[in-house]
Chains A and B, each alone.
Chain A
Amino acid sequence: LAKTTQPISMDSYEGQEVNITCSHNNIATNDYITWYQQFPSQGPRFIIQGYKTKVTNEVASLFIPADRKSSTLSLPRVSLSDTAVYYCLVGDPNTGGFKTIFGAGTRLFVKA
């Protein structure tokens, strides 16, 4: 299973774009990159998933370079309500029977 490394914490201000990078040097061919968001005392919520290049939805964008050894979650114009922990996961969505590893995540704090 690919291990991920992401910053422990990040600070930002309202209205700024936030980019959180995740390193996954030993990502496998069939692995996808998935990001979740978790607010205090709540269950995580799926944000976005991608395999290569760029994926965008109404919440975020995910940038994945050609070598796929890293990925960047981009949150446009953050607000105070985006303060949360963001988890980067790497694994094959078409294969079961493995542990789902969330890691420590990145704690994003958005200031006014």
Chain B
Amino acid sequence: DSGVTQTPKHLITATGQRVTLRCSPRSGDLSVYWYQQSLDQGLQFLIQYYNGEERAKGNILERFSAQQFPDLHSELNLSSLELGDSALYFCASSTLAGDYNEQFFGPGTRLTVL
């Protein structure tokens, strides 16, 4: 158990819909990262927050947005969903702001878009 929690574990929805994925980092961790992993694909970095502020942005679609709240939990919002958005979405956290510090990953949310 990494100490990072993600909800929900599974999500099934239809094209065009909007969903919110939630992540609670390890206690004391200020950095939160979001990744997307499609079937048989590598991990794609989406976005990073550090202590409430956006720190780095990857190839995140404009239909996707995220935020980190004062209590440090984070939410990833996916809207106008397409079939290709079906994937595992991982959240990770780390203590420090440096991206290549050890990141602790959550169990992921499996999103299925029908």
**Residue B64 interfacial (CB < 8 Å):** no
How far does the Cβ of A8 sit from chain B's closest Cβ, in whole Å?
11
Assuming the contacts A43-B105, A96-B55, A100-B33, asked whether A105 and B42 have C-beta atoms less than 8 A apart, the reply is yes
| B50 close to A96 (CB less than 8 A) | yes
| B107 close to A49 (CB less than 8 A) | no
| A42 close to B43 (CB less than 8 A) | no
| A93 close to B96 (CB less than 8 A) | yes
Number of A residues, CB within 8 Å of B: 29
Residue of A87, A92, A93, A101 touching B45 (CB-CB under 8 A):
A101
How far does the Cβ of A100 sit from chain B's closest Cβ, in whole Å?
5
In the assembly, what is the distance between CA of A5 and CA of B90, in Å?
A: 23
A-B CB contacts (within 8 Å), total count: 82
Residue of A nearest to B104 (CB): A46
| B107 close to A43 (CB less than 8 A) | yes
User: Which residues of A50-68 are within 8 A (CB) of B?
Assistant: none
| B33 close to A49 (CB less than 8 A) | no
Q: Majority SS of interface residues in chain A?
A: loop
**Residue A89 interfacial (CB < 8 Å):** yes
| A102 close to B43 (CB less than 8 A) | yes
B-chain residues with CB within 8 Å of residue A104 when the two chains form the complex: 42
| A98 close to B88 (CB less than 8 A) | no
| A46 close to B56 (CB less than 8 A) | no
| A100 close to B2 (CB less than 8 A) | no
| B100 close to A102 (CB less than 8 A) | no
| B42 close to A93 (CB less than 8 A) | no
A-chain residues with CB within 8 Å of residue B105 when the two chains form the complex: 42-45
The 3 closest A-B pairs by CB, nearest first: A43-B105, A91-B100, A96-B97
Residue numbers of B with Cβ under 8 A of A are 2, 4, 31, 33, 35, 42-43, 45, 48, 50, 55-58, 88, 90, 92, 96-108, 110
**Assuming A32-B100, A44-B105, A100-B45, what are 15 further A-B pairs, CB within 8 angstroms?**
A41-B108, A43-B2, A46-B102, A89-B100, A93-B99, A96-B98, A97-B55, A97-B97, A99-B99, A100-B99, A100-B103, A101-B45, A102-B42, A103-B42, A105-B42
